[in-house]
């Protein structure tokens, strides 16, 4: 029996086990929504903006490990998802995104709400396609889920013209699909891996660099055991933060632009860098000529194209992190690394990670307060200074997951991603850490969180500035704070050199704003208020709580390596 | 290692809408230096084959091949840089505003280069050249050195692996 395209879409969702869809309707996708209306078993979350919609699906996907599903309309609905697609692409988040499209007969006419969204997003999706025949729909839907979640995961876009949604065709949703141009790697070259292990085993100063790929493949425990069996210390990327528990004796910390002194020193001094699941982003390497100058480099990654792109490696291994670690564990033997670990510990002693704690509220105090308030949960950040402080000072481990926008660095990511994470995993405590700038980029999602009854705690670190850029202006641009002060008004002096007694008040009032949405708002100005505020927020189980922390405007994220400089050249204070 | 040279790829892709845009978009988006790209269907009408020439160093060329390989629409990437192939490019050259003596000279060139004179008028000659890209370049250089008004249309090279010969 034939069914319509829209019915097949719903059938596909059921077959793929989709229980939640992040959707925003519009003219060219209403038919699909009409079918979803009849599907009681699928929850539709209605955000207030399509960019946030994709971030919510990302948070959902990263918290659950499932594919996040988005449905939006054509034209502006489609263009609004572009940032989210790019974010998912860079951080390897599995998404299936269906965008409505004008009927095929109108495509190319500059019809109302018509855009070539597949063309626009070609470089930021893993795969994108316009459905041109109803007969292909089942296969394309199956392909989309398969491509999104296998290999290096990523977003897949299906552009679905209105006439295809209503056209009758085969009711079958294929059980599997074979794609001749897509064969994700499912094995590991034992010879290469052996070479890699031999190198590690022969090293005097070995170091493991663990990236986000370890989390994606669920290999956190394997990595810890491998490090423990070999006695090799571990540094992480921002995306890899949490794959080894903070506080583990072999864990050094994050490396990179705002990494720990000891971690960057270790990378610069090690003789074998054993990297797994990272693409050697420039935030990790800094000046490529000076990156790990004394080291032979092993690179294990699922994506062939990541290997020897930024850093030329000595032993490339194309493999899923879990698969490689399973095999490596069979060979793992203890190494004598005592002296090397002592050296790293001495670097840590020399320059420990610590902020000033003398006057008023400091970001470190807030992060430590969050550490004490939560034994487990999902910590989601936006992008900016608060993100780096979170990555530096928050505790992570098997019970505490870190979700952040690592590759694209998308302001506006944190709050919606936290909503999505909580929707995906309602039993988990979800804390969003945001800045005052990023929070305002998707502030409208307060409505979504309230109506969806998502009780998350949102910690807004308000320093009245776009702090990360302000920091660069302070350090490298002669304190010329161009367009970073969020209090600045038209009537302010043009040559303002920073906060003074004439500064106008900050807008908005986050507490009142939260209340106007039916959420809760708390303002914290003193260290002793941190704990009670977090405790109070936990009590609110009906709606989200914004805790606004008023921090000093001049807090810096340190250490810092200037973009393009060698990682050994850290600004420490 | 950082030596820039011309390299050749044969690329099998799905014969679908948007695939050419995706492949060419890779070259523009990642600043790869694309010299020529030709495309046409193969013996299997669902598959197209592209012949691509890029100028790059070794490292970039490896990256280009990997990036092409990880596209879902790409079925197979074949590096033709160091294998025996037959390669031809079609070139039309219209030599205009020439005297009878000059016309004779064009005929001479045609004879030596083994290209066809396809059309002729009172003061112009049309050459159809099926040569390697390099040989076509040489012919153009020669024509330019002798005549002022030339119209050139080039098709880009197509290449196929040799059966028996080892020459390129």
What is the ipTM for the molecules in this complex?
0.93
pLDDT at A573: 83
Partner-chain contact A181 B63, CB within 8 Å: no
Contact A145, A67 (CB under 8 A): yes
When pLDDT is averaged across residues A474-480 and rounded to a whole number, the result is 93
Q: Which of residues 286-305 of A touch B (CB under 8 A)?
A: 303-305
Which one is catalytic: A162, A205, A265, A400? A162
Q: Is A204 in the active site?
A: no
What is the torsional sign of CA A494, A498, A499, A505?
positive
The structure tokens listed for A93 are: 């988040």
Query: What is the average per-residue pLDDT within A463-473?
Result: 97
Closest listed residue to residue B157, CA positions, set B133, B139, B138: B133
- The residue that leads in pLDDT, A217 or B2, is A217
Terminal C-alpha separation, chain A:
71
Selected residue of A180, A306, A309 to mutate for chain B interface (largest B Cβ count, 10 A): A180
Q: Are B22 and B73 in contact (CB under 8 A)?
A: yes
| Contact between chains at A305 and B69 (C-beta distance less than 8 A) | yes
Pair B36, B14: CB distance under 8 Å: no
Please determine, for residue A541, whether its predicted confidence score (pLDDT) is greater than 80: yes
Residue appearing with tokens 């095999």? A327
- Tell me the three state secondary structure of residue A532: helix
A215 shares contact with chain B (CB less than 8 Å): no
Give tens-digit pLDDT for A275-302: 999 999 999 999 999 999 999 999 999 9
Find the mean pLDDT for residues A511-516: 98
Contacts of A140 in chain B (CB under 8 A): none
Phi, psi of A93 (to 5 degrees): -105, 125
CB atoms within 10 A of CB B80: 19
Q: Does A396 touch chain B (CB under 8 A)?
A: no
**Rounded mean pLDDT, B25-52:** 97
Inter-chain touch B74–A119, beta carbons under 8 Å: no
Do B64 and B138 touch, CB atoms closer than 8 A? no
Compute the distance between CA of residue A107 and CA of residue A92 in angstroms, rounded to an integer: 31
d(CA B55, CA A157): 32
CB burial of residue A174 (10 Å; 0-12, 13-18, 19+): middle
- Nearest-CA distance A313 → chain B (Å): 12
Using left for φ > 0, alpha for ψ between -120 and 50, and beta otherwise, residue A46 falls in beta
| A236-247: pLDDT as tens digits | 999 999 999 999
Contact status, residue A161 vs residue A118, Cβ threshold 8 Å? no
Neighbour order of strands in the sheet with A457-462 = A400-403, A377-381, A430-435, A457-462, A545-550, A520-524
Structure token digits, residue A439: 């929070």
Cβ–Cβ of B73/A126 closer than 8 Å? no
- CA dihedral (A107, A108, A112, A116) in degrees, to 10, reads 80
Q: How far apart are CA A207 and CA A292, in angstroms?
A: 10
Q: Which residues lie across from B5 on neighbouring strands?
A: B56
CA A53 to chain centre: 15
- Section B62-70 average pLDDT: 96
Q: How far apart are CA A368 and CA A170, in angstroms?
A: 57
Q: Is A563 helix (H, G, I), strand (E, B) or coil?
A: coil
Of the candidates A194, A193, A186, the residue with the CA atom closest to the CA atom of residue A152? A186
Q: Which of A381, A488, A421 is nearest to A64 (CA)?
A: A421
Nearest CA in chain A to B60: A309
Any residues with CB less than 8 A from the CB of A484 and at least 6 apart, and which?
A465, A466, A467, A469, A470, A473
Do B65 and B77 contact (CB within 8 A), yes or no? yes
Peptide bond into A508 cis (omega under 30): yes
Confidence band, pLDDT 50/70/90 cuts, at residue B2: low
Model confidence band, residue A126 (pLDDT cutoffs 50, 70, 90): very high
pLDDT, tens digit, for every residue of A336-351? 999 999 999 999 999 9
| pLDDT category of residue B167 using cuts at 50, 70 and 90 | low
- Phi and psi at B140, nearest 5°, equal -60, -45
With an 8 Å Cβ cutoff, are A305 and B70 in contact?
yes
Q: Which of A16, A50, A269, A555 is catalytic?
A: A50
Please report the pLDDT score of residue A494 as a whole number. Answer: 86
Residue A28 CA to residue A130 CA, distance in Å, equals 14
Residue B29: closest C-alpha in chain A = A123
Q: Is the pLDDT of residue A184 over 60?
A: yes
Overall average pLDDT of the A85-91 stretch: 98
H/E run at residue A273: strand A272-276
For this structure, is A162 an active site residue?
yes
Q: How far apart are CA A101 and CA A117, in angstroms?
A: 9
Q: Is the pLDDT of residue A492 over 60?
A: yes
Cβ atoms A384, A438 nearer than 8 A:
yes
C-beta of residue A258 within 8 angstroms of C-beta of residue A404 = no
Please identify which residue in the block is written with the tokens 């074979």: A178
* Contact call for residues A51 and A369 (beta carbons, < 8 A): no
Specify the DSSP class assigned to residue A523: E
Give mean pLDDT, residues A203-230.
Answer: 98
Q: Which of A322-326, A497-501, B68-72 has the lowest mean pLDDT?
A: A497-501
Distance CA A315, CA A273 (A): 10
Q: Give B67 or A497, the one with higher predicted confidence.
A: B67
A59: nearest Cα among A498, A559, A442:
A442
Q: CA A445 → CA A47, A386, A420, distances in Å? A: 6, 20, 11
For the residues B75-86, what does the mean pLDDT come to?
95
d(CA A44, CA A33): 9
Helix ranges restricted to H, chain B: 19-29, 58-69, 100-113, 133-146
Q: Is the per-residue pLDDT at A495 higher than 90? A: no
The candidate with the shortest Cα–Cα distance to A274, out of A225, A310, A328, is A328
Of A128-132, A495-499, A528-532, B62-66, minimum mean pLDDT range: A495-499
* Closest Cβ–Cβ partner in B26, B63, B74 for A181: B74
pLDDT at A90: 97
DSSP assignment letter at A503: P
Q: What is the pLDDT averaged over residues A416-424?
A: 98
Residues of chain A contacting residue B18, judged by C-beta atoms under 8 Å apart: 118-119, 122, 129-130
Average pLDDT over chain B, rounded to an integer: 95
A113 is catalytic: yes
Identify whether A445 is a catalytic site residue: no
Residue A359 is a catalytic residue: no
Is pLDDT at A103 greater than 70 in this prediction?
A: yes
Distance from CA of A193 to the nearest CA of B (A): 20
Tell me how far CA of residue A513 lies from CA of A442, A544, A547, A548, B48, in angstroms. 13, 12, 12, 11, 57
Q: Which residues pair with B34 in a beta bridge?
A: B54
Angle between helices A363-373 and A530-539 (to 10 degrees): 40
> Which of B18, B59, B70 faces A303 most closely, judged by CB atoms?
B70
Helix (H) or strand (E) holding A546: strand A545-550
Say how many residues make up chain A: 573
My answer on whether omega of the bond before A84 falls inside 30° of 0, hence cis, is: no
Contacts of B70 in chain A (CB under 8 A): 303-305
List CB contacts (< 8 A) between B67 and chain A. Answer: 305
Taking CB atoms and an 8 Å limit, are B69 and A304 in contact across chains?
yes
Structure tokens at A347: 């670097």
Q: Is the pLDDT of residue B1 over 60?
A: no
Is the pLDDT assigned to residue A208 strictly greater than 60? yes
CB B21 within 8 A of CB B73: no
Q: Calculate mean pLDDT across residues A513-533.
A: 98
Q: Where are the beta strands (DSSP E) in A377-494?
A: 377-381, 400-403, 430-435, 457-462
Answer yes or no: are the C-beta atoms of A122 and A83 closer than 8 Å. no
Which chain B positions have a beta carbon within 8 Å of A126's beta carbon? 72
pTM of the model: 0.97
Provide, as residue numbers in chain B, all residues whose Cβ is less than 8 Å from the Cβ of A129. 16, 18
User: 3-state DSSP call for residue A177?
Assistant: coil
Q: What are phi and psi of A299, to 5 degrees?
A: -135, 110
Measured distance CA(A425)–CA(A63) in Å, rounded? 7
Count of A-B CB contacts under 8 Å: 44
Q: What is the mean pLDDT of residues A11-35?
A: 98
If one counts every other C-beta atom within 10 angstroms of the C-beta of residue A240, the result is: 28
DSSP states of A32-90:
HHHHHHT-TTSEEE--SSHHHHHHHHHHHHHHHSSPEEEEE-STHHHHTTHHHHHHHHH
A221's tokens = 């425990």
């Amino acid at each position: 029996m034939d069914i319509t395209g829209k019915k097949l879409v719903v059938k596909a969702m059921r077959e793929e086990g989709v229980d939640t869809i992040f959707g925003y309707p519009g003219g060219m996708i209403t038919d699909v929504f009409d079918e979803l209306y009849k599907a009681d078993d699928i929850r539709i979350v209605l955000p207030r903006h399509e960019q946030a919609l994709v971030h919510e699906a990302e948070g959902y996907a990263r918290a659950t490990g499932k594919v996040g599903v988005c449905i939006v309309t054509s034209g502006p609905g489609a263009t609004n998802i572009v940032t989210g697609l790019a974010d998912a692409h860079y951080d390897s988040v599995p998404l299936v995104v269906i965008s409505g499209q004008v009927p095929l007969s109108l495509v190319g006419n500059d019809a109302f709400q018509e855009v070539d969204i597949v063309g626009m997003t070609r470089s930021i999706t893993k795969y994108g396609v316009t459905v041109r025949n109803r007969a292909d729909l089942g296969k394309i839907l199956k392909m989309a889920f398969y491509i999104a979640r296998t290999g290096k995961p990523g977003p897949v876009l299906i552009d679905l013209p209105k006439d295809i949604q209503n056209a009758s065709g085969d009711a079958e949703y294929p059980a599997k699909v074979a794609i001749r141009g897509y064969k994700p790697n499912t094995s590991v070259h034992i010879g290469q891996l052996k070479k890699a292990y031999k190198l590690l085993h022969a090293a005097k100063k070995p170091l493991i660099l663990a990236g986000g790929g370890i989390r994606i493949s669920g290999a956190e425990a394997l990595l810890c055991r491998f490090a423990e069996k070999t006695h090799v210390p571990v540094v992480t990327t921002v995306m890899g933060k949490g794959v080894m528990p903070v506080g583990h004796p072999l864990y050094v910390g994050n490396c990179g632009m705002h990494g720990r002194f000891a971690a960057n020193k270790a990378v610069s001094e090690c003789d074998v860098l054993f990297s797994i699941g990272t693409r050697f982003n420039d935030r990790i390497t800094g000046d490529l000529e000076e990156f790990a100058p004394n080291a032979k480099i092993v690179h294990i990654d699922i994506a062939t194209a990541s290997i020897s792109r930024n850093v030329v490696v000595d032993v490339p291994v194309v493999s899923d992190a879990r698969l490689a670690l399973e095999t490596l564990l069979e060979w793992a033997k203890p190494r004598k690394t005592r002296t090397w670990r002592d050296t790293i510990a001495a670097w840590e002693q020399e320059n420990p990670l610590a902020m000033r704690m003398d006057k008023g509220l400091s970001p470190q105090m807030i992060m430590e307060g969050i550490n004490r308030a939560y034994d487990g949960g999902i910590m989601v950040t936006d992008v900016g200074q608060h993100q780096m402080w979170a990555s530096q000072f928050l505790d992570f481990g098997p019970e505490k997951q870190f979700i952040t926008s690592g590759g694209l660095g998308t302001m506006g990511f944190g709050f919606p991603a936290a909503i999505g994470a909580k929707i995906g995993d309602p039993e988990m405590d979800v804390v969003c850490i945001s800045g005052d700038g990023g929070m305002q980029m998707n502030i409208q999602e307060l409505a979504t969180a309230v109506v969806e009854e998502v009780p998350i705690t949102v910690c807004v670190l308000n320093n009245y500035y776009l702090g990360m850029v302000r920091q660069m202006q302070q350090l490298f641009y002669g304190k010329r704070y161009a367009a970073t002060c969020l209090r600045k008004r038209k009537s302010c002096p043009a040559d303002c050199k920073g906060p003074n007694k004439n500064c106008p008040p900050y807008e908005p009032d986050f507490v009142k704003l939260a209340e106007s949405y039916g959420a809760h708002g708390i303002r914290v100005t003193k260290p002793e208020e941190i704990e009670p505020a977090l405790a109070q927020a936990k009590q609110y189980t009906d709606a989200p709580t914004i805790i606004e922390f008023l921090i000093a405007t001049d807090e810096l994220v340190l250490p810092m390596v200037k973009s393009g400089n060698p990682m050994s050249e850290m600004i420490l204070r | 290692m950082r030596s820039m040279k011309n390299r050749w790829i044969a690329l099998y892709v799905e014969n679908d809408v948007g695939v050419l845009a995706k492949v060419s978009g890779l070259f523009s988006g990642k600043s790869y230096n694309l010299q020529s790209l030709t495309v046409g269907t193969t013996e299997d009408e669902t598959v197209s084959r592209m012949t691509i020439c890029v100028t790059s160093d070794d490292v970039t060329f490896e990256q280009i091949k990997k990036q092409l390989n990880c596209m879902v629409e790409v079925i197979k990437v074949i590096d033709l840089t160091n294998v025996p192939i037959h390669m031809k490019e079609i070139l039309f050259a219209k030599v205009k505003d020439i005297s009878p003596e000059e016309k004779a000279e064009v005929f001479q060139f045609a004879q030596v280069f083994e290209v066809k004179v396809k059309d002729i008028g009172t003061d112009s000659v049309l050459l159809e050249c099926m040569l390697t890209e390099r040989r076509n370049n040489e012919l153009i250089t020669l024509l330019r050195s002798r005549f002022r008004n030339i119209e050139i249309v080039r098709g880009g090279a197509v290449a196929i692996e040799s059966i028996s010969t080892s020459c390129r």
